[in-house]
Structure 1
Amino acid sequence: MTTIRLAEAADLDALIALRIESETWLHAAGIQQWVDRERGIRNLREGVAAGVTYVVDDGGTVAATLTLNGPDRDFWTDEDDPENALYLYKFIIGPAHRGTGLGDALLDWACAEAEGRGKALLRLDCWRENKSLQRYYLDRGFHHVRTVQVAGRGSGALFERPADLRTTTRSLTSAVTDEC
């Protein structure tokens, strides 16, 4: 059974391995994204500690992860009404689950989370140079808001999708409580 739940400290090794595998996969594809491994690991640790990082557990294996949190103020301004959205970060699907529809189900789940928290939008920022990733989000109902450049940041392609949008019939069993 595939379930989604809040990540725990015990998940950190699996999350770090997932991140490193994704870095390697991106770099092999010629995409220079996620090049600061220590920062990435620190972000995972902070997300788990803050209770904003989730894992997809597929029979005892961490198949994917994502973080849902507030706006990154380097990218989202007051004019964007940033409190009207939930923000997706560190969205990683393990290699055995890529192309299975798990990503679509997770995006729908994240939208449902946003909607359940009274937010109208699910937003994200992604790597400015990763056109394939941008196409992935466009194909799943996101629209491009704008692209910004912030010193020291490779991210900055900003996307959003209505929180009430669902694109797949696949669902996940949630082990997340209403307290989240």
Structure 2
Amino acid sequence: MAERPVLVARLAVESDTDRVIGLRAESERWLARRGIQQWTAKWDEVGREKIRRNIANRETWVFEDDGDVIATVTLNTRPDLDFWNPDRDGPALYLYKLLLARDRAGESLGADIVNWSVNQAALRGFPWLRLDVWRNNHGLQRYYLDQGFEHVRTVEVPGRDSGACFQRRAVPTPVENIVDADAQADV
């Protein structure tokens, strides 16, 4: 077995924007080749602006291997109100846009980033890490179940394809092959 790479996690900065958008575009193409229409038809400047805003708000992290950004995740405290109700569901940290360079698939780096994100939630005192995924992307739903998430509910909202809601208890989950370049994020 090859030695696991040590990734450096750091908050994304403005100069990372094109790389984060590139990871998103790479994921779009990969999904489309598999017949999954997630992010493809509706992805436009609005989506790019969301990425820019997440970076400016210090919510997006990048993961580097030997100086190359190979993955990204966005973590914040703002639930998508179409799917989550903070009054009913309680506080949580929310995971969005976990993207990994496709040439790094199969190395369990996505699982490492999920565990790192769970740890971030625990360190900040949140009881849960939550996310929502597309209702028809059953492979991704299975992936998150395999990562220890529980399916909470599936919500159908007109005009929205997401709505399969998952959460995982936020317990300290150190990840030996990810080191933090930034001590604290503004989440």
TM-score range, shorter chain: over 0.9
The corresponding residue for 1:53 is 60
Gaps of 5+ in 2: 1-5
Structure 1 unaligned blocks of 5 or more = none
TM-score normalised according to structure 1 size: 0.93
Cα offsets for 1:78-128 (capped at 9, x unmatched):
2111x2x10000011111221101111111111111011110110000010
- How far has the Cα of 1:41 moved from its partner? 1.3
Q: How far apart, in 2, do the equivalents of 1:28 and 1:165 lie?
A: 37
Pairing of 1:13-28 with structure 2 (within 5 A):
13-28=18-33
Q: Distance in 1 between matches of 2:140 and 2:147?
A: 11
CA–CA separation in structure 1 for the residues paired with 2:112 and 2:50: 24
Contact 1:34 1:40 (C-alpha < 8 Å) held by counterparts: no
Identity of aligned residues (%): 46
1:127 aligns with 2:134: yes
Deviation at 1:145, TM superposition (A): 0.2
For residue 164 of structure 1, what is the aligned residue in structure 2? Answer: 171
Q: Distance in 2 between matches of 1:173 and 1:96?
A: 21
Given that residues 127 and 169 in structure 2 are in contact (C-alpha distance below 8 angstroms), is that contact kept between their aligned partners in structure 1? yes
RMSD: 1.5
In the TM superposition, what is the alpha-carbon distance from 1:40 to its structure 2 partner?
2.4
C-alpha separation between the residues in 2 aligned to 1:8 and 1:53?
8
Alignment TM-score, normalising by the size of structure 2: 0.90
Contact 1:115 1:164 in 2 (8 A): yes
Q: What is the CA-CA distance between 1:178 and the residue it aligns to?
A: 2.7
- The count of residues paired between Structure 1 and Structure 2 equals 177
In the alignment, structure 1 residue 30 sits paired with structure 2 residue 35: yes
SS of the aligned residue for 2:84 comes to: coil
Cα distance in 1 between the residues matched to 2:105 and 2:176: 15
Q: What amino acid is aligned across from residue 79 of structure 1 in structure 2?
A: R
TM-aligned CA distance change 1:161 to 1:134, over 3 Å: same
Specify the alignment match of 1:73 in structure 2. Answer: 81
